[in-house]
Amino acid sequence: MIESRLRNVTDHIQTACQRAGRNSKEIEIILVTKGVDLKKMEEAYQLGFRGFGENRVQDLVSKQELLPEDIRWHFIGYLQTNKVKFLMENVILIHSCDRLELARELQKQAEKRNRSFEILLQVNTSGEETKHGFQPDAVEEAAFAVVGLDRLRLRGLMTIGPNTRDEDQIRRSFALLRTLRDQMRYKFSSVDWYYLSMGMSADFEIAIEEGANLLRIGSAVFGARP
């Protein structure tokens, strides 16, 4: 079941890339494992997938201890400052840095561990009050502050598409993130603004067409959460 679902997702990625004139090799799938049992994760691992994303620190920590060490863990959920210290060493990317308070805590914990964190700034491009993230007009100021934190390596931007079936609205949200990324590349040329993390199971094709290269895919592979 998971194998056929993964094949279906990769087929749709290929089709979206063809429409957008992009190379599908540019696209990385992060399998979202919120509420997913270990058996399903192990099946995806056996099929060759190594990028997994968790929304909760405690779940990430417990799954890390039980699954192979070569999994590339991404943290993609809301991150409380008091949970930062529990993130283990092999979290390769934090997608959801949504406030400067969190950036400063990441810096503090990184200094204690003599390590660094790669992060994305989460931006609220939909305007929905239920969504976390910097407002679009605050991204430049946030980037300036984060660039000054020597233990944080800023790698790009992340957003969550609006909760709607209106494809034009979804597209505008993703296009705004791409525009912001392009502006930040010009203003902060020393930063490698490589990643655009946007697009989930319901809207990843639109995200690809608007420039995404990190997709966060859960239910399209693992099925609906119980």
Domain count, the chain: 1
pLDDT in tens, 11-54: 999 999 999 999 999 999 999 999 999 999 999 999 999 999 99
The length of the chain, given as a count of residues: 226
- Which CATH number goes with the domain that contains 196? 3.20.20.10
Residue 133 region, left (φ>0) first, then alpha (ψ -120 to 50), else beta?
left
Rounded to an integer, the average pLDDT of 194-214 is 97
Q: What is the mean pLDDT of the chain?
A: 95
Task: Provide the pLDDT for residue 1.
Answer: 86
Domain extent, residue 178, equals 2-222
Residue 127's CB: how many other CB atoms inside 10 A? 12
Question: CA 122 from chain center: how many Å?
Answer: 9
How does residue 139 score in pLDDT terms, banded at 50, 70 and 90? very high
pTM of the model: 0.95
Q: Residues 48-103: pLDDT tens digits?
A: 999 999 999 999 999 999 999 999 999 999 999 999 999 867 799 999 999 999 99
pLDDT at 226 over 80: no
